[in-house]
């Protein structure tokens, strides 16, 4: 009997719905932002589930959470599997959470089967993948892969001025008695299961995606500085209206990113100060999220963005700060073949596809053989309470993950 035969789809779904209660709101919404008390409570639930399976919980200086199934050869580097437990402010029940719960389900299946792998297998929940509270995101996986949590990262503040370092300290203080592992320890392989967050698998009617790679991205914050003035008295030709300058920039950037047509450009954050109806806006802060599989296209649109910000600033001033730059990446074909082989042996239909969304797997790819397994989500909707995945697809993904982890942990 293969380990994946012990995967229990009902248990998987139950844990997913239990986890969704942490930050859960109406119509499937979940607000479980990074390093909040809501996420602390969710982490405690994950630790409870792990302890019930006699897994060894641990954390590190970046508050990454690990639940370890010991192997028969403790000196061997472990296999890691997981994703992130934090969500967007108005997120759904599956983004990130599925990868963590599917990895726990795989370990649960090994326990049920009475199997002990050669290598330890660690379920992981990475810190701050989503970047909505603290930007840039993927803090935990970046710190793990680089072996350090820099002072600059600890100084990142949220909209309320809370330092990431202080929020981390609060989470770690709540992790009572969890051993602190070093950042940057050796890992044999990493596998992340995730909803596709796109429509490809659902349209194809295929339950499993073997992810070929992740598209490149640049992220920015643009600050436009004008001057507050009286809406009734200040002459328009004499105003330094930060909002009108920002609107000109965003309209021009939108037009500049229309070709090639598959460029993904998003202005998702847009803050106006003092944001008062009868005051000419003094300052605007907005975000730019630029993505494309071809790094040369990202570079070309990057140059256009910089030129537009400079040209459209007058009579205000503007600063553009790049907060993230990650190139496109391809996951190792040998590991993709192993995942495809597991799916084929289980008789589960699968296909290769690239990831348009970002994932922690990007950073593990820099330190160990890494693979991702996608399952379909309804209409590709994500970062939205309407996010939905079919239980049968989630179970299929967990079965392929279980088989994959077993093969990796027995190497």
Angle at 47 (CA atoms; ends 108, 14), nearest 5 degrees: 55
In 3D, which of 5, 66, 6, 73 has the Cα closest to residue 411? Answer: 73
Binding mask 181-220 for ligand HGY (x = CB under 6 A): ----------------------------------------
Nearer to ligand HGY, 34 or 121 (CB): 34
Give the one entry of Mn ion, ligand HGY, none that residue 209 binds, where binding means its C-beta sits below a cut-off of 5 to 8 angstroms depending on kind: none
When asked if residue 241 is in the footprint of Mn ion (CB under 5 A), the reply is no
Nearer to ligand HGY, 293 or 358 (CB): 358
Give the one entry of Mn ion, ligand HGY, none that residue 326 binds, where binding means its C-beta sits below a cut-off of 5 to 8 angstroms depending on kind: none
Binding footprint of ligand HGY, residue count (CB under 6 A) = 5
Nearer to ligand HGY, 50 or 358 (CB): 358
CA distance 128 to 123: 16
CA distance 252 to 86: 33
Nearer to Mn ion, 97 or 257 (CB): 97
The residue whose Cβ lies closest to ligand HGY is 358
Least Å from the CB of residue 130 to Mn ion: 5
Least Å from the CB of residue 351 to Mn ion: 20
Binding mask 118-137 for ligand HGY (x = CB under 6 A): -----------xx------x
Give the one entry of Mn ion, ligand HGY, none that residue 375 binds, where binding means its C-beta sits below a cut-off of 5 to 8 angstroms depending on kind: none
The two tokens of residue 100 are 């963590």
Least Å from the CB of residue 360 to ligand HGY: 9
Binding mask 88-107 for Mn ion (x = CB under 5 A): -------xx-----------
Burial 73-112 (b: 16+ CB within 10 A, else e): eeebebbbbbbbbbbbeebbbbbbbbbbbbbbbbbbbbbe
Give the one entry of Mn ion, ligand HGY, none that residue 293 binds, where binding means its C-beta sits below a cut-off of 5 to 8 angstroms depending on kind: none
Least Å from the CB of residue 337 to ligand HGY: 26
Residues with Cβ within 8 Å of 293's Cβ and at least 6 positions away in sequence, in order, are 213, 215, 216, 262, 328, 354
Rg, the chain, Cα only:
23
Q: Which residue has the tokens 């072996």?
A: 147
Q: Strands 208-214 and 350-355, how do they pair?
A: parallel
Cβ-contact 380, 199 below 8 angstroms: yes
Nearer to Mn ion, 322 or 384 (CB): 384
Nearer to Mn ion, 206 or 372 (CB): 372
Distances (CA, A) of 377 to 27, 39, 102, 409: 16, 24, 15, 29
Cβ-contact 109, 69 below 8 angstroms: no
Give the one entry of Mn ion, ligand HGY, none that residue 376 binds, where binding means its C-beta sits below a cut-off of 5 to 8 angstroms depending on kind: none
Nearer to ligand HGY, 122 or 129 (CB): 129
Nearer to ligand HGY, 137 or 281 (CB): 137
CA distance 172 to 127: 12
Terminal-to-terminal C-alpha distance of the chain: 19
Least Å from the CB of residue 191 to Mn ion: 15
Residues 308-367 binding ligand HGY (CB under 6 A) are: 357-358
Give the one entry of Mn ion, ligand HGY, none that residue 358 binds, where binding means its C-beta sits below a cut-off of 5 to 8 angstroms depending on kind: ligand HGY
Half-sphere exposure (CA, 13 Å, Cβ side) for 113? 20
Cβ-contact 188, 119 below 8 angstroms: yes
Nearer to ligand HGY, 33 or 402 (CB): 33
Q: By CB under 6 A, name the binding residues for ligand HGY.
A: 129-130, 137, 357-358
Q: By CB under 5 A, name the binding residues for Mn ion.
A: 95-96
């Amino acid at each position: 009997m293969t380990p994946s035969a012990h995967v229990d789809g009902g248990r998987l779904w139950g844990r997913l719905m239990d986890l969704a209660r942490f930050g859960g709101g109406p119509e499937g919404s979940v607000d479980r932002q990074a390093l909040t008390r809501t996420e602390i409570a969710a982490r405690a639930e994950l630790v409870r589930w792990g302890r019930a399976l006699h897994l060894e919980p641990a954390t590190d200086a970046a508050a990454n959470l690990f639940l370890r199934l010991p192997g028969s050869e403790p000196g061997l580097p472990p296999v890691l599997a997981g994703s992130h437990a934090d969500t967007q402010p108005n997120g759904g029940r599956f983004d990130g959470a599925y990868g963590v719960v599917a990895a726990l389900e795989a370990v649960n299946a090994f326990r049920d089967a009475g199997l002990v792998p050669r290598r330890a297998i660690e379920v992981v929940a990475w810190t701050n993948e989503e970047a909505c509270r603290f930007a840039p995101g993927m803090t935990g996986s970046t710190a793990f892969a680089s072996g350090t949590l820099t002072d600059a990262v600890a100084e990142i503040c949220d909209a309320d001025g809370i330092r990431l370092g202080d929020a981390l300290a609060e989470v770690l203080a709540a992790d009572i008695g969890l051993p602190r592992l070093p950042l940057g320890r050796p890992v044999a392989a990493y596998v992340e299961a995730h909803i596709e967050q796109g429509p490809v698998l659902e349209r194809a009617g295929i339950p499993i995606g073997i992810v070929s790679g992740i598209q490149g991205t640049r992220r920015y914050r643009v600050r436009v500085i004008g001057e507050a003035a009286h809406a009734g008295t200040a002459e328009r030709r004499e105003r330094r209206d930060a909002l009108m300058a920002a609107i000109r920039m965003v309209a021009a950037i939108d037009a500049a990113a229309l070709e090639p047509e598959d460029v993904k450009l998003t202005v998702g954050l847009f803050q106006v100060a003092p944001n008062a109806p009868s005051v000419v806006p003094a300052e605007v802060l907005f975000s730019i999220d630029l993505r494309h599989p071809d790094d040369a296209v990202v570079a070309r649109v990057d140059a256009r963005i910089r030129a537009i910000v400079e040209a459209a600033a007058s009579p205000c001033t503007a600063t553009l700060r790049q907060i993230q730059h990650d190139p496109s990446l391809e996951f190792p074909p040998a590991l993709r073949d192993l995942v495809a082989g597991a799916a084929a042996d289980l008789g589960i239909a699968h296909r290769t596809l690239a990831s348009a969304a970002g994932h922690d797997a990007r950073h593990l790819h820099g330190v160990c053989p890494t693979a991702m397994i996608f399952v379909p989500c309804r209409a590709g909707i994500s970062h939205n309470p309407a996010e939905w995945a079919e239980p049968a697809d989630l179970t299929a993904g967990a079965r392929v993950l279980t088989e994959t982890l077993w093969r990796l942990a027995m190497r």
